[in-house]
Amino acid sequence: MSVVRVPPVLRSEAGGKREVEASGATVRELLEDLARRIPALGSRVYGDGEIQSFVNVYVDGEDVRTRNGLDTPVRDTSTVILLPAMAGGC
Amino acid sequence: MTTYRELLQRTKGEISELDAKTAKETPEGIWVDVREADEWQEGHLPGAVHVPRGYLESRIEGVAADKTQPVIVYCAVGNRSAFAAKTLQELGYEHVHSLAGGFTDWKRNGLEIVLPRTLSPEKRTRYSRHLLIPEIGEEGQLKLLDSKILLIGAGGLGSPASLYLAAAGIGTIGIVDADIVDETNLQRQIAHSLDTLGTPKVDSAKRAIEALNPDVNVVTYRERLTSENIDRILDDGWDLIVDGADNFPTRYLVNDASVWRNIPVVHGSIYRFEGQVTVFKPHEGPCYRCLFPEPPPPELAPSCAEGGVLGVLPGIVGTLQTNEAIKLAAQIGEPLVGRLLLLDALATEFTEVKIERRADCPVCGDHPTITEYIDYVEFCAK
């Protein structure tokens, strides 16, 4: 199981959790597993076979868009960060 | 036994000497001043580098790596430089000359000299803790004093940034903010106080800066940054932007303008317990649109007024931004270019992720499709 970090704006979709678990050998498999386990969270970040355009997904510190996208490999020990932009400077 | 006179005479016979007028015509090459620091402070040749003779062997390769380029060495009258020239020949420099008559003859011939800038005794005291750091020193402090930094927002992030930039001696600080100080701001916006409730934030911040460091020139813009006013504000010539805006349209607007004008942006954003910090250096690293091509839908982009923020969080993120700004202004260290620093204050955890420039970025990419201001409010409401 990999650790998935949930951004603050999506924590209500994850029952308030800061981190959840999901499994998969690639980002696609992992996000599909996440969508099965926590549909409210999964559908916010992944839909129609694509990562939602406003969310960045990092596997072990690297943006999957700069690697192999949904085919980027994920290990059991990987940390996956879901990251939308935050605007606040207030 | 050899006397000093004999040694000098023999050495001069083994090196090349040029008089001031001939040396001046030497088109290329590096000029090395081998005098002591106090002599250098009283004036030197334009473009010369200072390497006191005592450090010549250990430092010369740092300033003149190419041993085939001409090197012209000078001192006060041409004696120390003769010995220095001999040393450089022994180190393998192929075209070394000593300036005959040295700085004294140069000056006597009415040729141009440069008086180095130095800090006044008052500034030397105020910035003494910076001067003690080798990476900053007098040269770095002078760079800070010459810098012009624009703050977008005088709120949570802008408050600590304005105070620490002022304390560091940034010469000119610009502040853009249209808001008025209210009581809910005082939980975190430390540039403001009970005394300035109800006054414009730019005036309140200016007052706080001037109470801390009257040397700083503060330029205030009591307006909301828009496509209509951003060019006028940036035309005032800012070296660097510290972005502490509180909304997406302004973030994208600042990004596009900074890419087109080649101004680095120190980015910070916060929500509840979490923060993001990075530096967008146009064309050297990614821009904001490379990182976030699109803002989240409005329901996933609550402001601090809607979702709250831990009071100290903008203090941490704003001072991290200030650290980046000072490093960029002093041209030292490794700025957060291509790296996004994530802070979770609840877990006290810092995470760094890599961010890259996107070749297909609509603003800084190889074939830009956005080349003038767009309707940013509409873009962010999609």
CB contact under 8 A, A61 and B353: yes
C-alpha distances (whole Å) from A18 to each of A9, A14, A26, B273 are: 10, 8, 22, 11
What gap in Å lies between CA B209 and CA B165, rounded to an integer? 9
Query: What integer is the mean pLDDT of A49-67?
Result: 95
Query: What integer is the mean pLDDT of B311-331?
Result: 98
What gap in Å lies between CA B271 and CA A60, rounded to an integer? 23
User: For chain A, what is the mean pLDDT?
Assistant: 94
Taking contacts as CB-CB distances below 8 angstroms, the residues of chain A near B352 are 61
What gap in Å lies between CA B314 and CA B320, rounded to an integer? 9
Q: How many domains does chain B have?
A: 2
CB contact under 8 A, A8 and B243: no
Which of the listed residues B108, B133, B166 is the one where a domain comes to its end? B108
B97 confidence band (pLDDT: 50, 70, 90): very high
What gap in Å lies between CA B143 and CA B174, rounded to an integer? 17
CB contact under 8 A, B269 and A86: yes
Q: Note whether B73 and B97 are within 8 A (CB).
A: yes
For residue B317, the chain A residue with the least C-alpha distance is A89
Is B377 a domain residue?
yes
What gap in Å lies between CA B239 and CA B149, rounded to an integer? 6
Of B117 and B261, the one with more pLDDT: B261
**So what's the ipTM on this one?**
0.95
pTM: 0.82
Of B23 and A79, the one with more pLDDT: A79
For residue B311, the chain A residue with the least C-alpha distance is A90
What gap in Å lies between CA B137 and CA B127, rounded to an integer? 9
Looking at the predicted structure, is the pLDDT value of residue A59 above 90?
yes
Is B130 a domain residue?
no
Nearest chain A CA: its distance from B85 CA (Å): 52
What gap in Å lies between CA A75 and CA B28, rounded to an integer? 58
Residue B315 is predicted with a pLDDT of 98
Looking at the predicted structure, is the pLDDT value of residue B238 above 80?
yes
Closest CA to B314 of B203, B212, B151, B161: B161
Closest CA to A65 of B252, B380, B290: B290
The string of pLDDT tens digits covering residues B140-168 is 999 999 999 999 999 999 999 999 999 99
Nearest chain B CA: its distance from A11 CA (Å): 11
Looking at the predicted structure, is the pLDDT value of residue B302 above 90?
no
CB contacts under 8 A, B 352-371 vs A, are 352-356, 358
> What is the C-alpha end-to-end distance of chain B, expressed in Å?
89
A70: number of CA atoms within 13 Å, CB side? 13
Taking contacts as CB-CB distances below 8 angstroms, the residues of chain B near A7 are 274
Looking at the predicted structure, is the pLDDT value of residue A30 above 90?
yes
Of A38 and B23, the one with more pLDDT: A38
B303 confidence band (pLDDT: 50, 70, 90): confident
CB contact under 8 A, A54 and B247: no
Please list, in sequence order, all residues whose beta carbon lies within 8 angstroms of the beta carbon of residue B374, skipping any fewer than 6 positions away. Answer: B227, B256
Residue A86 is predicted with a pLDDT of 87
Structure tokens at B49: 């580098």
B301 confidence band (pLDDT: 50, 70, 90): confident
Of B382 and B329, the one with more pLDDT: B329
Interface contact B177, partner A, CB < 8 A: no
If asked whether residues B103 and B157 sit together in one domain, one would say: no
If asked whether residues B230 and B296 sit together in one domain, one would say: yes
**Which residue range forms the structural domain that includes residue B191?**
147-381
Looking at the predicted structure, is the pLDDT value of residue B98 above 80?
yes
What gap in Å lies between CA B114 and CA B116, rounded to an integer? 6
CB contact under 8 A, A61 and B153: no
Nearest chain B CA: its distance from A33 CA (Å): 23
Query: What integer is the mean pLDDT of A78-86?
Result: 94
If asked whether residues B334 and B215 sit together in one domain, one would say: yes
- Cα B299–Cα B300–Cα B305 angle in degrees, nearest 5: 80
The string of pLDDT tens digits covering residues B28-39 is 889 999 999 889
Neighbours of B110 (CB within 10 A): 8
Is B119 a domain residue?
no
CATH of the domain at B332: 3.40.50.720
Q: Note whether B344 and B273 are within 8 A (CB).
A: yes
Per CATH, which fold does A2-84 belong to? Ubiquitin-like (UB roll) (3.10.20)
What gap in Å lies between CA B75 and CA B53, rounded to an integer? 9
If asked whether residues B102 and B234 sit together in one domain, one would say: no
Looking at the predicted structure, is the pLDDT value of residue B375 above 90?
yes
Helix (H, G, I), strand (E, B) or coil at B345: coil
Residue B37 is predicted with a pLDDT of 87
Nearest chain B CA: its distance from A86 CA (Å): 6
Interface contact A3, partner B, CB < 8 A: no
Long-range CB contacts for residues B36-40, cutoff 8 Å, separation at least 24: B39/B76, B39/B103, B40/B116
B227 confidence band (pLDDT: 50, 70, 90): very high
Structure tokens at B372: 């003038």
Q: Where are the alpha helices (DSSP H) in B67-174?
A: 80-90, 102-108, 121-126, 128-131, 137-146, 158-167
Is B273 a domain residue?
yes
Q: Please state the domain extents for chain A.
A: 2-84
Query: What integer is the mean pLDDT of B123-150?
Result: 95
Dmax over CA atoms of chain A, in Å, equals 40
Query: What integer is the mean pLDDT of B1-14?
Result: 94
Residue B38 is predicted with a pLDDT of 87
If asked whether residues B161 and B43 sit together in one domain, one would say: no
Is B81 a domain residue?
yes
A54 confidence band (pLDDT: 50, 70, 90): very high
Query: What integer is the mean pLDDT of B101-125?
Result: 92
**CB-nearest partner of A63 from B155, B302, B355:** B355
Is B141 a domain residue?
no
Interface contact B295, partner A, CB < 8 A: yes
Closest CA to B305 of B222, B136, B202, B182: B182
CATH of the domain at B16: 3.40.250.10
Q: Note whether B278 and B249 are within 8 A (CB).
A: no
User: For chain B, what is the mean pLDDT?
Assistant: 95
- Amino acid type, B366: D
Residue A87 is predicted with a pLDDT of 83
If asked whether residues B65 and B179 sit together in one domain, one would say: no
CB contact under 8 A, B158 and A89: yes
A81 confidence band (pLDDT: 50, 70, 90): very high
Structure tokens at B151: 């703050």
Which of the listed residues B44, B78, B108 is the one where a domain comes to its end? B108
Residue B194 is predicted with a pLDDT of 98
Is B160 a domain residue?
yes
Please list, in sequence order, all residues whose beta carbon lies within 8 angstroms of the beta carbon of residue B96, skipping any fewer than 6 positions away. Answer: B15, B16, B70, B71, B72, B73, B85, B88, B89
If asked whether residues B104 and B151 sit together in one domain, one would say: no
Which of the listed residues B88, B108, B128 is the one where a domain comes to its end? B108
What gap in Å lies between CA B209 and CA B214, rounded to an integer? 7
B21 confidence band (pLDDT: 50, 70, 90): confident
CB contact under 8 A, B351 and A61: yes
Helix (H, G, I), strand (E, B) or coil at B343: strand
Strand ranges inside B244-338, DSSP E = 265-271, 274-280
CB contact under 8 A, A85 and B271: no
**Quick one: B119 exposed, middle or buried, by C-beta within 10 A (0-12, 13-18, 19+)?**
middle
For residue A52, the chain B residue with the least C-alpha distance is B296
The string of pLDDT tens digits covering residues B166-217 is 999 999 999 999 999 999 999 999 999 999 999 999 999 999 999 999 999 9
Residue B29 is predicted with a pLDDT of 87
CB contact under 8 A, A90 and B158: no
C-alpha distances (whole Å) from A7 to each of A30, B103, B119, B140, B270 are: 17, 64, 48, 39, 12
For residue A7, the chain B residue with the least C-alpha distance is B274
Looking at the predicted structure, is the pLDDT value of residue B3 above 80?
yes
If asked whether residues B366 and B225 sit together in one domain, one would say: yes
In the sheet with B30-33, reading across from the earlier edge strand, the strands are: B16-18, B96-99, B71-74, B30-33, B49-50
**Quick one: B365 exposed, middle or buried, by C-beta within 10 A (0-12, 13-18, 19+)?**
middle
If asked whether residues B222 and B303 sit together in one domain, one would say: yes
- Express as a percent the part of chain B with pLDDT over 70: 100
Beta bridge partners of B342: B276, B351
If asked whether residues B223 and B368 sit together in one domain, one would say: yes
